[in-house]
Structures are given as C-alpha cells and as structure tokens.
C-alpha cells in the first residue's frame, strides 16, 4: 500500500470544500431552511408609509400616513358645508359676471379635510394668499388665488384680447396694479361667501391682508385640521383656481348648525307646526285640585293617627280656596254650591313666582 502524497492531500481538501458548499446551497433552497433577509427598496418603503409621489390626493394615502390622518374630521360629518359652498357657487356666477363684464363659469371641484401645515407646503407658487377674518366668529381663514387666475384677472379687467391665453411673466414679484385688482376680486368672493352663510348664521368676512409667502400666512398650528374648498373659474380660454381654507376652530361657533342633515332654501322655524301645536294645546284636558288647607304636622303625630282620629281644619265658609294643577297654583276663590254640586267661584289668578 502506497502512502498518500502531499498533493493528494490538497486535492482531497479542495473536493471536501466543494461538497460542503453544495450542501449549503441545498440547505438554503430546501423546505426546512430559513428565508434570507429581504431589503425593501425606496418605492416599497414609501408605499408602506403612505408617501406615494404618484398621487396628489391625500385621501387615498394608506399605511402609517393614513393612521396619522385618521384623526382628521371629515367634512362629510358637516353636511351643511356642502350646501353653503353650493350657494356660494351660484352667487359667484352672477356677481363675477357683473365684475368682469364677461361670461364666467364657476364650478366646485372638491372639498376635503387637510392639516394646515400640509396645505401650506402644497401651495403652488407663485400665488397670492389672502387672509380674511370672520368678525362674528373672531377667527381667520385663507383664500388662495393661483398664478393663472391672477394673470387672467389682469388680462380681462385691463382689456385683453379675447381668445388668447393670458401671458405669464415668471421670475418677478406681483406689481401693485396686479395686487389691487386681485384684492377687488377677493372682496367680491368674500361678499358671496358671507351671503352663502347668512341663512345658516350671519357672518361678515373682512379682508385683512395679502401675502405672497406662505410663511407669513400662518393663521393656525400646522397640525390643526382644516376644510379646503377648491373652486374653478373659466372665462373662455382663460381662468384658474381659487382655494378657500377654513380651520375647524373657526367653524366651531356654528358646529351644531353644520351638523344638521338638511335645511331647505327657506331657513327658520315652521309656522305650520307652531299653529298646529298651539291649537292642540288649547284643547288639552287637565285636572284641577281644590286645596282647602295645608298643615305641617310632626312625624310622630302622623304615625299615631288611627281610624277615627280627627284633624282640625281652620277653614271657614268664607276662606280662600286654592285651585292647583299638580304643584302649580293656578287660581284662588271661594267655595259654594251650584245646584246639587259643590262649586268654587274664581276670584283671581295666581301669578307664577320667579325663581
């Protein structure tokens, strides 16, 4: 028998290492093996957290972002808000036609709930941010006019040619003329918004100031929930969008009114039901009790009463008798007889004591 050489030992070791490597591969692919750790890419992480850049609709977010936004109060819980904005659209259609002396179509694109900080970060710049105050509610709100509508307003009011799109000059601040024209436009919109709220709760919206930087338009804490209404204005080939942001804290004084399910064009009380209820109340039957006298006796005396015991009353034939309905004294009079029946002649009416 020939002993193995050093080269044979090296070959044997290499063959054993290759067999061990094959066994490891078989174990990884086998049924009993633990799966390897998988690393998520950036798109999968964004989808898990709910920050999907492919959609701009915050209501369609899922994942952790949806859990965070679940604390927002949906505008659908305030059904009268949609009625108010519908009335505003109808009013703006008429008032803006008079303001521009041109055909203007106003449409309500969307109403959604959003956090104030998220909305400020999503405002497309350049834009004009108008801060206005609700006098009766003592709080503020925002009205944002986008750049395309700003240039369309200037073009229409200054006699721009029909059928041509408004010219945009990017990279410069808005001029005093543009700001003053937009401010007049905002006054018209705020007047229509006030008229839309009047049947529900009279309120006056007063223009406060105009800002072009969102950092200077902070009227609420970034985490506070707000209502955002997006309206579209079309003037032939020109137009743009306005957005009205009202924090829920501003609407708190009329929250109970906004919770109503439906209210018709005529707001107020129902006179038909009032007349019916008043007529029925006049026909209601009640029981009256004639109280001859009231006395206060010790509990010991009451417990010692037996059959045949006497309680002396101080009432005389000419004493005043009280007529009561329950615990309420109604009339006082004198006792007498009418035919074969006992009767009480009412002398005067008792006045209700103020508590």
pLDDT in tens, 185-211: 999 999 999 999 988 888 999 999 998
Same domain, 101 and 232: yes
The answer to whether residue 53 is domain-embedded is no
Q: How far from 98 is each of 85, 89, 102, 286, 325, CA to CA, in Å?
A: 20, 14, 7, 62, 64
145/221 same-domain check: yes
Same domain membership, residue 232 and residue 339: no
146 shares a domain with 88: yes
Average pLDDT over residues 317-335: 85
Q: List pLDDT tens digits, range 121-162.
A: 888 878 899 999 999 898 999 999 998 899 889 888 887 766
Q: Are residues 171 and 113 in the same domain?
A: yes
Give burial (CB, 10 Å; 0-12/13-18/19+) of 355.
exposed
pTM listed for this prediction: 0.56
Statement to judge: residues 296 and 210 lie in one domain: no
- The Cα–Cα gap between 260 and 79 comes to 7
Range of the domain at 295: 285-304+318-349
Assess whether 196 and 294 both reside in one domain.
Answer: no
Largest CA distance in the chain: 153
SS3 content of the chain, % helix, strand, coil (to 5): 40, 25, 40
Instruction: Indicate which CATH number applies to the domain containing 297.
Output: 2.30.330.10
**Is 180 contained in some domain?**
yes
* Mean pLDDT along residues 306-317: 83
Sheet (strand 225-235) strand order: 105-115, 225-235, 238-247, 139-146, 127-134, 205-211
pLDDT tier, 36 (very low <50, low <70, confident <90, very high otherwise): low
Nearest to 129 by CA among 213, 190, 192, 193: 213
Tally of domains within the chain:
2
322 and 209 both lie in a single domain? no
> Quick one: pLDDT at residue 79?
79
CA atoms of 294 and 292, how far apart (whole Å): 7
């Amino acid at each position: 028998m020939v002993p193995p050489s050093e080269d044979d030992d090296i070959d044997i070791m290499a063959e054993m290492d290759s067999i061990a490597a094959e066994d490891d591969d078989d174990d990884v692919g086998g049924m009993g093996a633990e799966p390897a750790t998988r690393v998520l890419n950036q798109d999968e992480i964004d989808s898990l957290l709910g920050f999907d850049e492919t959609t701009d609709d915050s209501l369609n977010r899922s994942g952790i972002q949806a859990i965070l936004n679940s604390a927002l109060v949906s505008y659908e819980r305030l059904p009268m808000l949609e009625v108010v904005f519908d009335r505003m659209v109808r009013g703006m259609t008429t008032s803006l036609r008079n303001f521009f002396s041109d055909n203007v179509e106003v449409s309500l694109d969307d109403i959604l709930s959003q956090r104030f900080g998220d909305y400020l970060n999503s405002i497309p710049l350049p834009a004009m941010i108008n801060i206005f105050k609700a006098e009766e509610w003592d709080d503020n709100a925002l009205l944002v006019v986008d750049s395309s509508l700003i240039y369309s307003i200037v073009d229409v009011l200054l006699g721009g040619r029909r059928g041509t799109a408004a010219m945009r000059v990017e990279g410069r601040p808005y001029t005093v003329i543009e700001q003053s024209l937009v401010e007049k436009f905002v006054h018209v919109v705020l007047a229509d918004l006030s008229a839309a709220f009047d049947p529900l709760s009279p309120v006056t919206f007063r223009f406060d100031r105009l800002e072009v930087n969102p950092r200077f338009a902070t009227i609420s804490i970034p985490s506070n929930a707000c209502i955002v209404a997006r309206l579209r204005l079309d003037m032939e080939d020109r137009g743009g969008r306005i957005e009205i942001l009202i924090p829920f804290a501003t609407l708190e004084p009329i929250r109970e009114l906004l919770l109503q399910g439906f209210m018709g064009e005529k707001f107020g009380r129902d006179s038909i039901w009032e007349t019916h209820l008043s007529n029925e109340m006049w026909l209601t039957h009640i029981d009256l009790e004639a109280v001859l006298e009231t006395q206060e006796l010790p509990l010991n005396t009451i417990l010692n009463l037996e059959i045949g015991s006497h309680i002396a009353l101080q009432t005389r034939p000419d004493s005043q008798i009280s007529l009561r309905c329950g615990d309420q004294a109604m009339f006082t009079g004198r006792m007498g007889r009418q035919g074969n029946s006992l009767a009480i002649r009412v002398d005067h009416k008792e006045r209700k004591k103020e508590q």
